[in-house]
Amino acid sequence: MKQIAFALAFTLVAPAAWAADKLPLSQISNYLNNMKTVQTTFTQVNDDGSLSTGKLWLQRPGKMRFEYDPPNSAVVLARAGTVMIFDPKSNQPPEQYPLKRTPLSLVLARNVNLNQANMVVGHDFDGTATVVTAQDPKNPESGRIELMFTGEPIELRKWVIHDNAGSQTTVLLGPLNETGSVDQSLFSNRKRSGSVDR
C-alpha cells in the first residue's frame, strides 16, 4: 500500500490547444490557485508498469480523494494535513502520512507560489508543453513532483511523483470536470461513492 501513498499523481488530459512557448511560473501559479474543485477518473501507471484505475476528487486547499476500482478497492484521503490509506484487505487502521511530507502538498497548498526560492528545480519546454519540476524547499527529501502544462488556454496535463527511493508514478485522467462544490463526506470517510462519468 505504500506504493499508493506515493502515487498521488495525475495527468489531466482534457482536449486543449498545445502551448506555443514556455509558460511563466507566475502564470502557472495563478492557474493552480484558481483551480478549486475537480472530479474525474484516472488510470495510474505504477513504477513496475502495473495499472490501476479509479475516481478522483480534489478540492483546494488541502483535500483530495483517490478511490481505486476493484480488485484494489483502496481509498486514499488527503485532508486536515494528513494522507490516509484505507486498505480493504487489511484489518489494521489506515496508514497515515503528513501531507507536508509528500510533493502533493505543493498543489494542494492554499497559495501556490512557484517563484518561491528553491521550490522549482526544473522549468523547461519540450516543444509542445511546459514542464515544471518542483519540491518543497523545507522538505526536499520528500521527493519531487513533475507537472506538464499546455497553453491557450493553460491546462495541467501531466503530474508525476518522483519519490526519494528513485521510483516514479504517473496517473492519467479522463475529462476534467470543474464543479462549484464537492460532497464533503467524500473527504471524511472511506465509504465508496457513486459513479463519476468517464
Is residue 44's pLDDT more than 80? yes
Percentage of the chain modeled with pLDDT above 90: 44
- Of 5-9, 130-134, 173-177, the poorest mean pLDDT is in 5-9
Q: For 2-175, CATH number?
A: 2.50.20.10
Q: Inform me whether the pLDDT recorded for 18 exceeds 50.
A: no
CA dihedral of 120, 53, 185, 100, whole degrees rounded to 10: -20
Q: Is the pLDDT of residue 12 over 70?
A: no
Residues facing residue 162 across a β-bridge: 144, 168
Higher-confidence residue: 82 or 21? 82
Q: Is the pLDDT of residue 189 over 80?
A: no
Give me the pLDDT at residue 197, please.
Answer: 43
78-123 pLDDT, tens digit per residue, is 999 999 999 988 888 889 989 988 888 888 999 999 999 999 999 9
Read off the pLDDT of each residue in 64-90 and give the average, rounded to a whole number: 92
Least confident of 2-6, 49-53, 63-67, 132-136: 2-6
Q: Is residue 61 over pLDDT 70?
A: yes
Q: What is the pLDDT of residue 72?
A: 87
